[in-house]
A and B are shown apart, each in its own frame.
Chain A
């Protein structure tokens, strides 16, 4: 089971600048759909990469689905060389995204976030409207049901 509390706490307490997106953001907005991982868009400044590495180091991040024993190093230079990382940690799966299809980077998304207190920590979460817009723009067939539910949530909120 994914330790959502542990993952969000680890990031927030290390001062990582991140935005909760994807299924976990949908859950925060009221989605009833099952999601197994935490998707976050992280800010790619050198300082934030350092905080991100420090935040998860104790939780043994590794490339999710990759064979054991690869020379994967959890370090800032690894993050600098890549952009999006699909990881498994001792707290559960987490996707660290430098940018998202249809949405862009942290700087492009942060204007459409809400500060939510989740399990006692403040987390920036992508707004419901922007989450819908991003998923629509990404245009992935597997997202159609999720978009339909998110739009239904928006409609229910307005009732």
Chain B
């Protein structure tokens, strides 16, 4: 049986929700599903570049 997926607001989640950037969500919802994944892969590349820069800095300092 499918569980009831309607839920009451949870005060903890509501508190976290205040910090959600809805402009990013609205932009994402305009994209196709493929483009959402392409954007995720770009974000992964960026995160990896930042990690590599951090490693390099640790190595040379």
Contact = CB atoms under 8 A, between A and B. Distances in A.
A151 B14 CA distance: 9
B22 interface: yes
Q: Binding site of B, secondary structure by majority: helix, strand, loop or mixed?
A: helix
Contacts, number: 84
Classify chain B's interface size.
Answer: 20 to 34
Interface residues of A, number: 35
B56 interface: no
Given A31-B28, A118-B34, A148-B20, A2 B44 contact: yes
A147 interface: yes
A144 B29 CA distance: 21
Contacts of B20: 148-149, 152
A133 B7 contact: yes
A28 B36 contact: yes
Interface stretch (A48-56, A75-83, A109-117): A109-117
Given A119-B37, A148-B13, A148-B16, 5 more contacts: A24-B37, A32-B24, A152-B25, A156-B22, A157-B29
Interface of B: 2-3, 5-7, 10, 12-14, 16-17, 19-22, 24-26, 28-29, 31, 33-34, 36-37, 40-41, 43-45, 47-48
